[in-house]
Amino acid sequence: MTSAEQSIADYVRLLDPAVRSNPYPLFARLREGGPFRIGTAPVVVVTSHADCTAVLRDPRVSVDRSLAKLQLGSMPIYDATKTTAEQAKPSFLFLDPPDHTRLRRLVSKAFTPRVVQQLAPRITEIVDDILDKHSAAGAFDAVTAFAYPLPVTVICELLGVPLEDEARLSHWSALLARTLDPTSKQATEFRADPAEIQRAGTELSSYFEQLTERRRATPGPDLLSELLAAEDAGDMLSHDELISTCALLLVAGHETTVNLIANATLALLRRPDELAALRANPERAQAVVEETLRFDPPVQLIPRIAADDLTVGDLAVERGDLVVMLIAAAHRDPAAFPDPDRFDPARDNRNLAFGLGAHFCLGAPLARLEARIALTRFAQRVEMPRLTTDPPIYREHVNLRGPAHMPVEFAAILPP
Ligand code: HEM
C-alpha cells in the first residue's frame, strides 16, 4: 500500500465507532503522511498544525458549501431532497461576508467576555444544583447527570427556550450534529440516516417558528426576543435568518461544551494528581480547560471550501475542493507541541479548538467559563471520585466527539 492509500484507509477508519474512544494513533499516522487527497474525489485532508493554521488564515477559502464540487449538506436546516442551491438559508457558520458579518454582529454582543462573565453566579448556581441532586447517590453518570445539563440549561435560558422542551431539542440537535461528520463512499454503514436528519431539521425549524410567534406576542428578556425586535426593526435580518441563527445557537450550545466538560472530567479522573492540584488551587481550572481543548478537542475537524486554486504543502488544491482540517491531529503535532501526547496544563497552548479568523467560535468565552466553573466545583465537592468504566462509552459522532456515558462512583458530594 502506498502512503496515500494508507492515509485514505486510515481516514475511512476514523468513521468506525470502534476507534471513537481513541482516534489519536490514527491521527498520528495521518499527520505523518502529510496532506492528502481522497483518491480522485474533490476532497483534501490537512493534518499538521502549520497547514491547518495556514488554511484557516487563507482568504482563498470559504465556508459557502454551494461552492463545493461535492454536494454537501449545511447544518442545521438541511433538506436532503433539495440541491445545495435550493436549501433554506444556511446559518452564518456557512456564510461568507457580507451576510456573515451582518448576522454575526447581531448576536455577538450577547457573547462578549464581559457580558458572559456576568453569568458566572447563575452558572455556579446551576452546577451546584446539579451536584446537590446526586449527593445521596454514591454514583452518577458524569455525562448525562453532570456535563450535559449545564450547557443545555444555559443556552436554553439565554435563547429563551423552555427547558421542558429539552428532550425533543436534544434529539434533533444530536441528529443535526451528524451533518458535520465526514462521509465516505466506502463506509456507508457508519452514515446517519439522511431522511431522519432531514426530519430533525424540519422539526427544529417549525419548533422555532412556533416559539417566535409566542415570543412576538409576549417578549422576554432573552436573545430570541432581541432578534425578533431586530427583525421587526427593518432589513437587519430576515425571518429565515432568524430561524437558522436560533437553530445554530441551540445546536452549538448542546453539542460542544458538554464534550469539553466531559473530556476534561475524564482527563482529571485519569490523573488524580491533576484533580488534587485543581482542588487545592481553583486558579488551575483555566489551564486544565485549555489543555483539554488541545488534548481532546470537542470539535475534531473544521471544513472549508477552496474558492480558488491553492497549495497546502506540496499538495495542489483546486477551486471547489473540500478541505478538511483535522485539528485533533494538528493538536498532537510535535512540531507545535513538544511531547504532544502528554496532558500538561502548564504548556504553551496555541490550540485551534475554537477555530481561527472570521468564524472563530462566538461561544468560546461562554464555553470556557462554564467548563472552568463545572471543573472547579467537581474538584471541590465530589469526594474520591472514581471512573468505573474506562474508556467510557462514546457517542457515534466523529466530529463533535465525546463520551455518551461515564459512570463515576464517589464517597460523597460535599455541600457547596
Ligand atoms: C467547547 C465548546 C465549543 C467548541 C469547541 C466550539 C468550536 C467551534 C468552532 C471550531 C467553530 C468554528 C467553525 C469554523 O470555523 O468553521 C465554532 C463556531 C461557532 N460557535 Fe462554537 N464551539 C463551542 C461552544 C459554543 C457555544 C457554547 C456556542 C453558543 C452558544 C457556540 C457558537 C458558535 C457559533 C455561533 C459559531 C459560528 C461563528 C461564525 O461562523 O462566525 N459555540 N465553534
Closest C-alpha residue for ligand 1 atom 29: 363
pLDDT at 78: 46
**What's the CA-to-centroid distance between 261 and ligand 1, angstroms?**
15
Beta bridge partners of residue 387, listed in sequence order: 408
pLDDT at 188: 65
**Residue ranges lining ligand 1, Cβ < 6 Å:** 63, 92-93, 104, 155, 248-249, 252-253, 256-257, 260, 298-299, 302, 353-355, 359, 361-363, 366-367
Return the residue whose CA atom lies nearest to atom 19 of ligand 1. Answer: 361
Sequence-ordered alpha helix ranges (H) in 24-98: 24-32, 49-57
CATH H-level superfamily of 3-413:
Cytochrome P450 (1.10.630.10)
Q: How far apart are CA 198 and CA 407, in angstroms?
A: 33
Q: Could you tell me the distance, in angstroms and rounded to a whole number, from the CA of residue 300 to the centre of ligand 1? A: 12
* CA 250 to ligand 1 centroid distance, Å: 11
What's the gap in Å between 355 CA and the centre of ligand 1?
8
CA of 303 to the centre of ligand 1 (A): 13
CA distance 88 to 105: 21
Nearest CA to ligand 1 atom 6: 354
Residue ranges of alpha helices (H) inside 162-301 are 166-177, 194-217, 223-232, 239-255, 257-270, 272-280, 285-295
Pocket mutation for ligand 1, best pick of 72, 169, 256, 265 (most atoms within 8 Å of C-beta): 256
pLDDT at res. 5 = 87
> What is the whole-number distance in angstroms between the Cα of residue 360 and the centre of ligand 1?
7
Q: What is the pLDDT of residue 77?
A: 46
Residue carrying the nine cell digits 468505573: 388
Q: How would you classify the pairing of strands 43-46 and 322-325?
A: parallel
Structural domain spans, the chain:
3-413
The Cα 243–Cα 39 span in angstroms is 38
The answer to whether the CB of 8 falls within 8 A of the CB of 39 is: yes
351 CA from centroid of ligand 1 (Å)? 14
Cell of 222: 432573552
406 burial (CB, 10 Å; 0-12 / 13-18 / 19+) is: buried
pLDDT tens over the chain, length 416 residues: 788 889 999 998 998 999 999 999 999 999 999 999 998 889 999 999 999 999 999 999 999 988 999 877 554 444 555 554 455 668 899 999 999 999 999 898 889 999 999 999 999 999 999 999 998 889 999 999 999 999 999 999 999 999 999 889 999 998 888 888 887 666 666 677 778 888 888 899 889 999 999 999 999 999 999 888 887 777 688 888 889 999 999 999 888 999 999 999 999 999 999 999 999 999 999 999 999 999 999 999 999 999 999 999 999 999 999 999 999 999 999 999 999 999 999 999 999 999 999 999 999 999 999 999 999 999 999 999 999 999 999 998 999 999 999 999 999 999 99
Shortest-distance Cα residue to atom 1 of ligand 1 = 257
pLDDT of residue 81: 52
**Helix-then-strand count for the chain, H and E:** 16, 14
Q: Which ligand 1 atom minimizes the distance to the CA of 355?
A: 10
